[in-house]
Homo-oligomer: A and B are copies of this chain.
Amino acid sequence: MILTLAGGVGAARFLDGLTRVFPPGEVYVLGNTADDTEIYGLHISPDLDTVMYTLAGLANPVEGWGIHNDTFESLAALGRLGEEVWFRLGDRDLATHIFRSNQLRAGSSLSTITAQMAKQLGVRSSVVPMSDDPIRTIVYTKHGDLAFQTYFVRRRAKDRVLGVTFQGALESRPAPGVLKAIRGAAGIVFCPSNPLISVGPILAVPGIRAAIAGRKCPSVAISPIVGGQAIKGPAARMMKTMGMEVSALGVARIYQELVDVLVIDTVDADLAPAIEKLGMKVVVTNTMMTGLPVKKALARTVVKALQKFRA
């Protein structure tokens, strides 16, 4: 079984490829929930949903998030009732949040509900939240401490990030089965997600980082930074304003001790020697997942790297 650490869109794209070249039933997705938020009293888990929709074949291929061809009648009607509508919830997407919120209030856990929904939608991989306990990314800015979705969606990630914290992480426990899955994995993959705010919170759940650090299987990361730019999202700007080097080398430094092989893009090939000095192997390939062929090729490269490192 391959265990993957996953944020949102970047991870989902990689997982789309991985589950096409590797048995999907043997892929375990450990998902970030620190982006979760409550809107209109509904619990939204953007990263889990992005992964779930993608693996169910429902994802919006352009934006990466949400459901393909979704409509926005409910949202428009909420606007007419005076609600703010900056978080774009489609009608079909809303069903997920209504279902989840109802089950949560009935006492079910996020991991149980996520497994139930994924199964209903025909997803064969395990999609598991990092924790059933509430963990929330707070972004420190000059304009105050912002909830992640306020920073990211509402304010379009325009604020200079002074720091981040994962509220509730210290008191949280990994979701049931997570530590066992890490220990039993034949390979660990860090998806090309924001290392600070997508993978960071997963590693902040007590026990998870230690379990990965103590792994007996190979671990591969795909750099989400290509040519000094984040492929998607605010990762580059966040790394920069937090004093990190915005490059695959910067990513390597964050993942030191946790990753055996870093997959970097061909445009970053010159960084390989510096990354190798950190004690990692480097694989250079095309990581720009512009279409299905590249997704699958990247996934094959990662699977091969896992096998090669083991041998």
- Residues of A bordering B, CB below 8 Å: 40-42, 67, 70-71, 73-78, 80-83, 90-96, 98-99, 101-102, 105-106, 116-117, 120-121
Most B-side CB within 10 Å, residue of A70, A99, A101: A99
Contact B101 A41 (CB under 8 A): yes
A83 to chain B: closest residue by CB = B99
**Bound CA–CA A117/B96 (angstroms):** 25
Minimal beta-carbon separation of A80 from chain B (angstroms):
6
Contacts of A101 in B (CB 8 A): 41
**Distance to closest chain B CB from A249 (angstroms):** 43
Complex contact B73–A91 (CB within 8 A): yes
Contact at A81–B42, with CB atoms within 8 Å?
A: no
Interface of A is mostly: helix
Per the bound structure, the CA–CA distance linking A284 and B81 in Å amounts to: 41
A77 lies within 8 A of B105 (CB): no
Partner of A70, one of B40, B73, B80, B94: B73
Could you say which residues of chain B place their CB within 8 Å of the CB of A106?
A: 41
In the complex formed, the residue of B with least CB distance to A82 is B120
For the complex, give the distance between the alpha carbons of A67 and B117 in Å: 29
Among A78, A91, A93, max chain B CB count under 10 A is at A91
With A41-B101, A98-B41, A105-B41 known to touch, is A120 a contact of B78 (CB < 8 Å)? no
Known A-B contacts A81-B117, A121-B81; A74 and B91 likewise in contact (beta carbons under 8 Å): yes
Residue of B nearest to A67 (CB): B77
| Closest chain B CB from A120 CB (angstroms) | 5
